[in-house]
Structure 1
Amino acid sequence: MYKTLLSAVAAFSMILSVSAASAQDVWSYSVKFVCGAAQTDPREIPIVEPGFYATEINIHNYRPEPVEIRKQVILIVQDNEAVGREPNFVGVSGEDGIALPPNTATMDDCLRIREIAGVDTSNLTIGYLVLQSTQEINVDAVYTTTGGEAGQFPPSIEVERIEGDQI
């Protein structure tokens, strides 16, 4: 009986260690996105300054083997309304995935986020595109904006490399 119990504990410990090792093979990238026209009510403090925002997310598999990527969209602002302002919080609004072949790249943008989450991104939409991949990949976010209600600010662009975390 004691040996059986000891064997069961050893087997359970091995299963836990294999599960932990498998979990370390997942990379997670949380990419902030801002999409659509931000319109403000002069009586309220705006979420962001008035203007038109767009985000494009580049995903590059530089490896010699395919990479499986799972995608989740989490919306914090939808249709100019802060749905995830504390104390409220939000969960996943839509999911997708892709198998990216070796040495290839793809992109997700505001139109793709609209498709995944099933929301209109022409009005202010802010959130995260969470990428979980089987290998480390390159992820870059390109943020563009045209500012002001009458276009009084010139267009701007910023590119940011998104670092992944092993989970």
Structure 2
Amino acid sequence: MNDRLVGALSEDDPVVEAVLTASRALVGVAARSIAAAGGDVTLPQYRALVLMAARGPQRLIDLAEALDVNRSTATRMCDRLVAKRLVRRSRLPSDRRTIRISLTSEGRALVDGVTKKRRADLAQILAQLSQEQHVAVVAALTAFAEAADEKEVSGHADIPAL
């Protein structure tokens, strides 16, 4: 990393503006892919589904921590996802007080459908770029993800962050 640039960017820097514009485009792709898949889920709900798809069944408190929300917020979100039949709650036989959340087959199908739609939309957008631009996009986004400390879930490269 270029030490000269670390901490030297202002909010109106052209690099910040370019990333902001690209992030709006990516959020648009994400929102359209979720809407096309049906299921009537919000972006935060979809993010919870993605975490469950990547990590498997988990305690409600662990899901809340991964989402960086209060346990009560995660509980309300899961209530809505249970009502939509996208997740199920179960209690651990070893500790009946502990609630585990997991995807239903409908929840898995929704995540898979959104991922497929998103991949198709991104491929269509990226097809408009040259090979040289592809190389630059990969380098820039890889560096950005590393700087943001975004980690790919091992074995789940096909599962998007949103």
Fold shared per TM-score above 0.5: no
Query: Which has more radius of gyration?
Result: 1
**TM-score, normalising length from structure 2?**
0.20
More strand by share: 1
Per chain length, whose mean CA-contact separation is higher, i.e. which structure has more relative contact order (CA < 8 Å, sep 6+)?
1
**TM-score, normalising length from structure 1?**
0.20
